[in-house]
């Protein structure tokens, strides 16, 4: 057998193996989509379920764990209309989707106290464009491992932090040595670094965590969980004080508080937040 035929044979075998893997992934996706469609009442038609599986089979690895597969399918169901509009320039909602995303970027930077950061080179509008450009560059790599809003939040925060960090490095590199030394002496004399808990980036993470927790508890059918968690952890009320306010025995308050804690711990949104914070800390 000639080398050309051998190479062609290897290529064919590789293609067959790849096709087989895609078919296996497609079958897993379609089976899980059927389950979730029934469990969550999505009311998807057979054609819609097939289209879901076709798209996700190209995004998900063959050895994806079952819990991550279910999460990815749920995220796709929630977000694919928006993501498709952002990716497709010919989509009827393309421009409107990007306008809304720009507003979201602005809200994130303001609410996370990053809009006041200035180094003389970047204005607030510049930082918004930096974040949007990074979303454009990274959007093709979004694979629904988390919700789009969670992914976009990470991209926004990381891109702005990186821009400010790089800008500061450039400024340091072009300063006269004498200026560097004088400023270093000044900092050593009068500036005490803020503790980790008071640094802006850490405060941003805590604000995001609090927002996620309150959103999870507020949408739960038992509204007492939100009230008890808010009173105890945000307003620093004792178990007894909460019991008096809600007309419940302290033991019942403790039980409900534990239920709220368990709900938060098991939330996929909190797990996604934890992964993002860990990744950012070691970036």
Highest-scoring range by mean pLDDT, 8-22, 31-45, 118-132, 184-198: 31-45
148 and 83 Cβ atoms separated by less than 8 Å: yes
Give dist(CA 252, CA 243) in Å, integer: 8
147 and 198 Cβ atoms separated by less than 8 Å: no
What would the two tokens of residue 80 be?
């694919």
Q: Residue 165 has what pLDDT?
A: 77
Give dist(CA 273, CA 36) in Å, integer: 24
Distance set, CA 281 to CA 139, 148, 272, 276 (Å): 22, 21, 14, 9
pLDDT at 77 over 50: yes
pLDDT at 99 over 80: yes
- The mean per-residue pLDDT over the stretch 143-159 comes to 90
Q: Residue 18 has what pLDDT?
A: 47
- The mean per-residue pLDDT over the stretch 94-114 comes to 88
- The mean per-residue pLDDT over the stretch 35-56 comes to 94
What would the two tokens of residue 273 be?
């937040």
- The mean per-residue pLDDT over the stretch 215-244 comes to 86
Better pLDDT: 86 or 174: 86
């Amino acid at each position: 057998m000639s080398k050309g035929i051998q190479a062609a044979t290897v290529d064919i075998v590789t293609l067959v193996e790849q096709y087989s893997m895609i078919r296996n992934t497609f079958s897993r996706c379609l089976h899980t989509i059927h389950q979730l469609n029934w469990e969550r009442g999505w009311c998807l038609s057979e054609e819609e379920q097939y289209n879901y599986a076709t798209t996700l089979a190209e995004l998900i690895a063959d050895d994806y764990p079952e819990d991550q597969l279910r999460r990815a399918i749920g995220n796709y169901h929630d977000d694919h209309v928006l993501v498709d509009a952002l990716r497709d320039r010919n989509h009827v909602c393309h421009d409107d989707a990007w306008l809304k995303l720009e507003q979201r970027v602005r809200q994130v930077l303001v609410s996370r106290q990053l809009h006041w950061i200035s180094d003389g080179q970047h204005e607030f509008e510049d930082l918004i464009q930096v974040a949007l450009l990074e979303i454009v560059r990274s959007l093709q790599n979004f694979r629904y491992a988390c919700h789009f809003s969670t992914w976009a939040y990470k991209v926004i925060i990381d891109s702005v932090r990186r821009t400010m960090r790089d800008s500061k490095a450039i400024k340091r590199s072009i300063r006269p040595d004498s200026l560097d030394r004088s400023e270093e002496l000044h900092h050593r004399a009068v500036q005490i670094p803020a503790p980790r808990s008071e640094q802006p980036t850490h405060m941003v993470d805590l604000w995001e965590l609090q927002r996620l927790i309150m959103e999870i508890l507020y949408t739960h059918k038992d509204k007492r969980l939100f009230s008890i968690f808010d009173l105890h952890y945000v307003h620093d009320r004792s178990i007894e004080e909460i019991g008096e306010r809600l007309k419940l025995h302290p033991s019942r308050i403790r039980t409900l508080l534990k239920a709220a804690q368990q709900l938060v711990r098991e939330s996929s949104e909190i797990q996604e937040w934890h992964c993002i914070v860990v990744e950012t800390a070691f970036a």
